[in-house]
Structure formats: structure tokens, C-alpha cells
Amino acid sequence: MFAAMNNIEDLHQRPIVSVDLAIFALTPDGLEVLLARRGVEPFTGHWALPGGWIHVDEDESLEAAARRVLSDKTGVAAPYFEQVGVFGDAARDPRGWSLSVTYMALIMPDAVILQHGGNVTDAAWHPIAGEATAQPLAFDHAAILKTAITRLRNKVEYTTLPVHLLPEAFTLSELQAVYERLLGRLLDKSAFRKRIAEVDFIVPIVGEMRRASNRPAQLYRLKQARSTVFFDRTI
Amino acid sequence: MFAAMNNIEDLHQRPIVSVDLAIFALTPDGLEVLLARRGVEPFTGHWALPGGWIHVDEDESLEAAARRVLSDKTGVAAPYFEQVGVFGDAARDPRGWSLSVTYMALIMPDAVILQHGGNVTDAAWHPIAGEATAQPLAFDHAAILKTAITRLRNKVEYTTLPVHLLPEAFTLSELQAVYERLLGRLLDKSAFRKRIAEVDFIVPIVGEMRRASNRPAQLYRLKQARSTVFFDRTI
DNA sequence: ATCCTTAGTGTAAAGTTTCAACTAACTTAG
DNA sequence: CTAAGTTAGTTGAAACTTTACACTAAGGAT
């Protein structure tokens, strides 16, 4: 048996590997996740995290596969992107031992043109209540989504991740509102601004003001390219 | 081509999946990582992170496979254990597109009986200088190890992870020394003790003292089972 | 012109962290 | 047996951060 294990040519020892995405956006209704309704077995008709296979024959890397899935489903190319983890056992897919490499992405819902095709009959934003969606999900996607939500909520506490849920230019009041909605509690204005002032990659766009509210407000932007990871703590 | 992608029976679309481990321990020489010398192609004679294949035919889960590899190489069963990430592309293994699911483990080196067999001709602890070992590593293991070391160093700042590098019972002075060695800087005794006092799963073992130094010291232990994950921040 | 709302700042009180000294228990050297 | 040295554990004042909340200013609406 051990000999068979070590034979790389034994294809039946290779698991099914999918790349799945927890794509988050903030809508007027709160934090939502993009789900796809399955058009094929197993779990036909169930909602699931959008996913796909790796194009091994095209030498596509893991992250490239994840970005392709995101682009295929949303038309969005380079938002915030992070690997959440790997989930693998014999029970999660009735077709056999399988492995899901899960990424999470934060995007602006306005920029998105939802696409469905292939094995998917519908795609829609679903609100998150607590740590789950209202509908049951296919496979172990409820558990995977829970992991992604926990990671997102944790990172809100100690990173500037919420900027990725806003457009390129934003005011500090808008940013604070995003933090408050994600954290579910109000923040002190003065303390919030002091903290953002310490972060050197959130910079004012000199001269540019927003007139939307009843008073003009300074616009801010990220210093680096939007897709860059820039946390104080790497994880 | 897209049809072939979606056909789960197309085994050649399945990547090679290995489980690799960054096993850390603290020795008198500092932080060390357990490496295995490869006895087979590719990279024969090179040092590599210990790893193995998943026993798909035995319905073994991903984490079970990682724990089996740890147990096979060290004889240690339940130390601190955490998934670091997945690394997958066409270039990392000359045999073709492959995927490495990497875990890190923290253990006590005294408890270990190093084993080598199968495809491995030697196993040894290697000191870590900066973010790497002195020897070049097989595959992309140098990059994987760097990711694991960064994760470990980060977590030392905001978790009690270093307790896993000590025996069941330890004094606060010993724990502080571990933190200082991992962080590479001295810590204030009073501040360190205040912080540990806030952590409710590090508890004094009442009545038990250590007489090793020139003065008896209170022994402490973890409240939960050693293998439990118990961070303030999940990641 | 007056009132209302929201952007942005100032400040005093409360809380934390740091630094360094201190006490106490034991070992070792003479 | 005593004095000196080492380490465990505590204390408290000074420095620094965070919090709460009030204040000023720039519009829009009436």
C-alpha cells in the first residue's frame, strides 16, 4: 500500500481539487456574499460558493485559477484577495474524496455584472445573518463560509481591510460607517481619525472634496495599488 | 475544453497533492525546524520539509493525513497544529502541476524520536537564521518555510503560542525566556506577568514549585488540552 | 437670517504601559 | 554560620495612550 502511495502515476490517489470563493460586498442591507445556484448534480438547485477547477493543462497557478473564477462570475479583476484555507475529506462531496481551496474577496457591488453560465443557473447576493446565510448551502460550504466570515470580522478589528468595500476615493466618515456596520457597534470619531492618520497608506487626495453631504469632506485613497496586501499583521 | 474541466472523471486534470509540515522546536541553539533528506528523485539528497500523500483510499481527512505524517516522523501525537496555507502551480515540482497543503507544528524536541524511512535517508533539526535554513531546500520549500516562520513570529506577538515549546508544567520565567528568544528582544518582567495574568487558560498549579533555580518558582500549566487552539484572534 | 446637519479638532479624565527599584527565598563560598 | 550572589515576584511613580465629549466651522434647507 505504501508503495502505491508513493507512485505519482497512480492517478486514483489524486483528489478532486476545486477553487471556491467567498466574495463579500457591503450593500444597503449589510454584508452580503455572492452565491451561485447549482445546475448540475450533486446538490442541483442548491446555493453554493462560486467555484471552479484549476486549468492544470494550461499551467495555471492556484491563485490565477481563483482570480479567473472571480473574473468569470463578476467581471471584477483585482479587488482584495486572500487565501482562507483548504478543506479536504471523503465526506464533503458525494463523488468522492475532494479538496476545496478557498479564497475570500472583497469587492464593490456596483462594479459587478453578475454572470451565470456553465453549471450555474443563477447568481445572487445573499445577506449574512450572524455567521450564515438564510439558505442551506451545498457541500460543506456553510462551514467554509463561516470560516471566511470569522476571518473577515477579525481582520476588521486590526486592519484597514474595510477600505476595499468602498470606491477608490472615499471620505473618513464613509470609512468609519463601513467599520461600524461590519463591527456592529459605533466608534468614536476622534479616535477613529487618529488611528487612520497613523496608517501611512491611506492618504488625502489633495484638493479633492466630496459635496454629497451637507458639508464638503476631504477625500482619501489608498497609496498602493488596490490589490496589494498591506496589513500590519500578515495574518 | 470547458466540458473536460467539468468532467470529474478526467483524472489527468487532478493535481498531485502532498501534505507538508514545518515542525518547529526550541533548542539551546534557538528555533529549529525538522527537515528530511530526500532519498528519491526529484531533488535526491536535498533537504525538504517532511511530507506525505493523503490516504484517499482510506477516507483519511486532510488534517488526519498531516497528523499521521507528524506522528510517523517524530512519534509525537498532539502538539500545537495549524494550517499555514496551500501552494500550487506548474513549476514547483518537475513531475508536473502539484499542490502542497502545509501545516506547522510546535513541539518539545526532547519528546521526539526522529524516524526516517520510506523516501527519506536522514532527518535532523536545522537552525533557522533569519527566515531560512543554511541549506537550500527542495521544491519551493524555502518559500513555504518562510511563510510559516513569518506566521509563527507574528503569532508570538499577540498569542500565547510559545507555551507549546515548553513542557506541561513551566514557570513564568521560563515562558518569558521563550518569548524573548523568539522575539529577539528582552521583555519587562512586570509587564509580561500582567499580560499572562489576563490570559485565563494559563493557570498556576497550586502547591507545585520548581526547585531547579536558586529559588523556588510557581509552576503554571494550560487549562485546556494541549492540542486545543485558543487564540484571542483566530488568525 | 436662522436652524439643522455633518466634517473636523481640542481637551480633560481615565486607563495602560514602562521603568526601575524593592523584598524575599534560596544557594554557594568562605 | 554568615555574607554575598542570584532569581522570583511585587510595587509604585512617571510617561504615554485611549476615551468621551464638547466645541468650531461649513455648508444646505426653510
B144-178 pLDDT, tens digit per residue, is 999 999 999 989 988 899 999 999 999 999 999 99
Query: Are A154 and B54 in contact (CB < 8 Å)?
Result: no
Distance from the A104 Cα atom to the nearest Cα atom in chain B, whole angstroms = 14
The single-letter DSSP state of residue B70 is: H
CATH of residue B88? 3.90.79.10
A-chain residues within 8 Å CB-CB of B41? Answer: none
Q: Which of B157, B183, B204 is the last residue of a domain?
A: B157
Q: Is residue B232 within 8 angstroms of chain A, CB to CB?
A: no
The single-letter DSSP state of residue B55 is: -
Residue B227 placed within a domain? no
Q: How far is the CA of A182 from the C1' of C28 (A)?
A: 62
Provide ipTM, 2 decimals.
0.89
**Among all strands, which nt has the closest C1' to A197 (CA)?**
C8
Residues of chain A with pLDDT under 50: 1-6, 226-235
With beta carbons less than 8 A apart as the criterion, state whether B113 and B77 touch.
no
With beta carbons less than 8 A apart as the criterion, state whether A95 and A15 touch.
no
> B74: Cβ–Cβ under 8 A, 6 or more apart, which residues?
B23, B34, B107, B112, B113, B114, B115
Distance from the B234 Cα atom to the nearest Cα atom in chain A, whole angstroms = 7
Q: Is the CB of B189 under 7 A from strand C?
A: yes
With residue B81 as reference, give the H or E element that holds it.
Answer: strand B80-89
* SS3 (DSSP) at B128: coil
Do A35 and A142 sit in the same domain of this protein? yes
CA B110 to chain centre: 15
Do B43 and B126 sit in the same domain of this protein? yes
Protein residues contacting strand D, judged by Cβ under 7 Å: A 188-191, 194, 211, 214-216; B 171-173, 189-190, 193, 213-218
Q: Has residue B20 got a pLDDT over 80? A: yes
Residue indicated by cell numbers 456553510: A142
* SS3 (DSSP) at B174: helix
With beta carbons less than 8 A apart as the criterion, state whether B233 and B159 touch.
yes
Residue A235 placed within a domain? no
Q: Is the CB of A214 under 7 A from strand C?
A: yes
Do B175 and B186 sit in the same domain of this protein? yes
Q: What is the pLDDT of residue A76?
A: 87
Do A212 and A150 sit in the same domain of this protein? no
Residue A231 placed within a domain? no
**Among all strands, which nt has the closest C1' to B171 (CA)?**
D8
Q: Burial level of B18, CB count in 10 A (0-12/13-18/19+)? A: buried
Q: Has residue B6 got a pLDDT over 80? A: no
Q: What is the pLDDT of residue A11?
A: 61
Do B62 and B121 sit in the same domain of this protein? yes
Share the mean pLDDT of chain B: 88
Q: Is residue B95 within 8 angstroms of chain A, CB to CB?
A: yes
Helices and strands in chain B: count of H runs, count of E runs: 5, 10
Q: What is the pLDDT of residue B234?
A: 35
Q: What is the pLDDT of residue B229?
A: 37
A-chain residues within 8 Å CB-CB of B55? Answer: 5
Q: What is the pLDDT of residue A7?
A: 56
pLDDT tens string B21-79: 999 999 988 999 999 999 999 999 999 999 999 999 999 999 999 999 999 999 988 68
Residue B230 placed within a domain? no
Do B113 and B29 sit in the same domain of this protein? yes
**Which residues are paired to B218 by β-bridges?**
B209
Q: Has residue B8 got a pLDDT over 80? A: no
d(CA A36, CA A74): 11
With residue A85 as reference, give the H or E element that holds it.
Answer: strand A80-89
Tell me the H-state helices in B75-140.
none
Query: Strand C within 7 Å of which CB atoms in A 192-211?
Result: 193
Q: Which of B141, B157, B173 is the last residue of a domain?
A: B157
Do A165 and A216 sit in the same domain of this protein? yes
Residue A54 placed within a domain? yes
Q: Count CB neighbours of B177 within 10 A.
A: 17
Q: Has residue B102 got a pLDDT over 90? A: yes
Do B128 and B176 sit in the same domain of this protein? no
Q: How far is the CA of A179 from the C1' of C12 (A)?
A: 27
d(CA B30, CA A218): 50
Q: What is the pLDDT of residue A235?
A: 35
Average pLDDT over residues B79-87: 92
Q: How far is the CA of A190 from the C1' of C9 (A)?
A: 8
Q: What is the pLDDT of residue A213?
A: 77
For an interface test with A, the pick among B1, B7, B9, B16 (most A C-beta atoms closer than 10 Å) comes out as: B16
Q: Could you tell me the residue range of the domain that residue A10 belongs to?
A: 2-157
Domain count, chain A: 2
Query: Are B235 and A235 in contact (CB < 8 Å)?
Result: yes
Q: What is the pLDDT of residue B11?
A: 61
Q: What is the pLDDT of residue B2?
A: 40
Q: Which of A115, A134, A157 is the last residue of a domain?
A: A157
pLDDT tens string B197-223: 999 889 999 988 887 778 899 999 998
Confidence tier at B226 by pLDDT (50, 70, 90): very low
Q: Is the CB of B226 under 7 A from strand C?
A: no
> A131: Cβ–Cβ under 8 A, 6 or more apart, which residues?
A145, A146, A149, A150
Q: Is residue B8 within 8 angstroms of chain A, CB to CB?
A: yes
Q: What is the pLDDT of residue B9?
A: 54
Do B24 and B114 sit in the same domain of this protein? yes
With residue B204 as reference, give the H or E element that holds it.
Answer: strand B202-210
Do A64 and A136 sit in the same domain of this protein? yes
